[in-house]
Amino acid sequence: MRLHYLPSEFQEALPILEKIKQAGFEAYFVGGSVRDAILGRPIHDVDIASSSYPEETKAIFSRTIDVGIEHGTVLVLEEHGEYEITTFRTEDVYVDYRRPSQVSFVRSLEEDLKRRDFTVNAFALNEEAQIIDKFDGLRDLENKTLRAVGVATERFTEDALRIMRGFRFAATLDFTIEETTFEAMKTTAPLLEKISIERIFIECDKLLMATSWRKGIRALIDSKAYNYLPDMKEKNRELEELLEVLSEDFAFRTSEQAWAMLMICLELSAPKNFLKHWKTSNDFQKTVMKLVAIYQLRQQQSVNKQICYHYGKELLYLVEELRQAQGLEVDYDRIDRIDHSLTIHDKHEIVVKGGDVMTTFQLKPGPLLGRLLNEVENAIVEGDLANDSTAIMAFVGERLANE
Ligand code: ATP
Ligand code: MG
């Protein structure tokens, strides 16, 4: 099959293929970009595979960077952009189930395509827009089927991350996992315990952010693979809950929103530890924990000035969206109104600083100063005190007189 036209992302990279070919080697576009081009989806990174060995690739181009030379990847810097060129390779023996113990460079495209995870990820595209499809990936694309290349159990045993990638692609592509592939995912799922959490998190996150995230979660539940993910052991019913409570058409707007909802459904005994076990960044943990806190607050009360000031409109909105998706009462207008009425949104906006209070009233740093500044902040948020230095100093003076 031939693509009707080469999307611009590939057109721009054509001179690279030409140069490699002129040097006497083969070169193709490979990976997810080819799949996405056939599907008419937006293309991210254009990956190139070549029969040239890394040293040979480096000799062809004037500006290159060794980004992963042991895996055969060289980054080529050209006027319009940077391209990763990876030597055709096979991955030999996997002793630890996560990385090949040996990568062998080969001169055959077919050998390279064989080591790829799913048939729809194993296309190559040449400069004439011809698609090379060795594993009937086009038929699978047509049928919206996700099928492992070759013997599924072997492929997942070589690299168990592929199981998570499978759930992720089911969600992002809205594909059904082919039966034998799915059976293999079930039997090899215990190997997920050997995979780095950071990499599993990336796949789960992409899964949750997909429009068809339900498909990915469904496959995760049915395969029982959740038993091998951090803090999800035996959380079958809780994961079902995630599917049940949110309306059919709901899609998460941010990762933090998705993970907060997941955590809420999991009914964790130690919520703080959950994201630590998933090894997410501190910033991510902070935001997700705030969303969970707001969610719980909202089950008991409506938004007030302090809540709005403390958490900010954006996070409150994310929680309201989760409520709306469950048919619960929502407070968007109230949040807008309160947010609009706040004279400060951050304590740095207070015109009087701690230092000013210290000099004016000859105070030393300590609990008293801390308490006074807190009272000032609260009074401004409540609208009982203007954010104006005369008013604030008078307020502090009065408090001190009452001490
Ligand atoms: P995305 O659209 O998210 O970038 P992708 O299919 O391009 O998806 P990448 O992780 O960018 O995925 O990998 C590029 C290609 O490399 C894949 O399409 C697949 O052919 C191959 N690949 C990546 N990871 C694996 C893996 N763990 N096992 C086998 N093949 C893989
Ligand atoms: Mg990619």
Contact (Cβ atoms closer than 8 angstroms) between residue 373 and residue 354: yes
In this prediction, residue 81 has a pLDDT band, given cuts at 50, 70 and 90, of confident
The whole-number pLDDT of residue 69 equals: 84
Measured distance CA(36)–CA(3) in Å, rounded: 12
Per DSSP, 268 falls in state: -
Kindly state the average pLDDT of the residues 363-388: 96
Smallest CA separation from ligand 1 atom 30, residue: 116
Testing ligand 1's pocket by substitution, the residue of 35, 89, 117 carrying the most ligand atoms inside 8 A of its CB is: 117
- The residues facing 76 across adjacent strands are 64, 83
> Ligand 2: distance of its center to the CA of 133 in Å?
18
User: Residue 357, SS3?
Assistant: helix
The whole-number pLDDT of residue 103 equals: 79
Contact (Cβ atoms closer than 8 angstroms) between residue 124 and residue 34: yes
Ligand 1 atom at minimal distance to the Cα of residue 36: 2
Kindly state the average pLDDT of the residues 197-226: 98
**Which residues line ligand 1 at a C-beta cut-off of 6 Å?**
31-32, 44, 47, 116-117, 121-122, 159, 161-162, 165
pLDDT tens for each residue of 293-332? 999 999 999 999 999 999 999 999 999 999 999 999 999 9
Q: Where in the chain is the domain with CATH 1.10.246.80?
A: 347-401
Measured distance CA(396)–CA(403) in Å, rounded: 11
For domain 144-229, give the fold.
Hydrophobic Seed Protein (1.10.110)
Contact (Cβ atoms closer than 8 angstroms) between residue 93 and residue 102: yes
What is the per-residue burial (b if ≥16 Cβ within 10 Å, else e) of 263-282?
A: bbbbebeebeebbeebebee
- The residues facing 81 across adjacent strands are 78
Contact (Cβ atoms closer than 8 angstroms) between residue 160 and residue 195: yes
| Selection from 98, 97, 74 nearest residue 84 by Cα | 74
In this prediction, residue 153 has a pLDDT band, given cuts at 50, 70 and 90, of very high
Residue 40: phi, psi to the nearest 5? Answer: 70, 25
Residue 121: phi, psi to the nearest 5? Answer: -105, 5
Testing ligand 1's pocket by substitution, the residue of 47, 121, 202, 206 carrying the most ligand atoms inside 8 A of its CB is: 121
> Ligand 1: distance of its center to the CA of 117 in Å?
7
Q: Which CATH superfamily is domain 1-137 in?
A: Beta Polymerase, domain 2 (3.30.460.10)
Mean pLDDT of all residues in the chain?
95
Residue 128: phi, psi to the nearest 5? Answer: -95, 15
Determine if residue 162 is labeled as part of a ligand binding site.
yes
The whole-number pLDDT of residue 241 equals: 97
Q: Where in the chain is the domain with CATH 1.10.110.30?
A: 144-229
CATH number of the structural domain 347-401: 1.10.246.80
Q: Are strands 81-87 and 176-177 parallel, antiparallel or unpaired?
A: unpaired
**Ligand sitting nearest the alpha carbon of 114:** 1
In this prediction, residue 5 has a pLDDT band, given cuts at 50, 70 and 90, of confident
Per DSSP, 118 falls in state: B
Determine if residue 336 is labeled as part of a ligand binding site.
no
Cα separations (Å) of 109 from 25, 126, 371?
A: 11, 11, 70
Ligand 1 atom at minimal distance to the Cα of residue 161: 27
Determine if residue 168 is labeled as part of a ligand binding site.
yes
Contact (Cβ atoms closer than 8 angstroms) between residue 57 and residue 153: no
Query: Does residue 95 have a pLDDT over 70?
Result: no
Which has the higher per-residue pLDDT, 97 or 396? 396
> Ligand 2: distance of its center to the CA of 347 in Å?
43
| Selection from 303, 291, 380, 359 nearest residue 335 by Cα | 303
Determine if residue 35 is labeled as part of a ligand binding site.
yes
Structurally, at CATH architecture level, domain 248-342 sits in Up-down Bundle (1.20)
Contact (Cβ atoms closer than 8 angstroms) between residue 177 and residue 156: no
Determine if residue 253 is labeled as part of a ligand binding site.
no
Per DSSP, 62 falls in state: S
Q: Where in the chain is the domain with CATH 3.30.460.10?
A: 1-137
129 burial via Cβ count (<10 Å: 0-12, 13-18, 19+): middle
Measured distance CA(74)–CA(66) in Å, rounded: 5
What is the per-residue burial (b if ≥16 Cβ within 10 Å, else e) of 15-32?
A: ebbebbbeeebbbbbbbb
Which segments of 258-384 are extended strands (E)? none
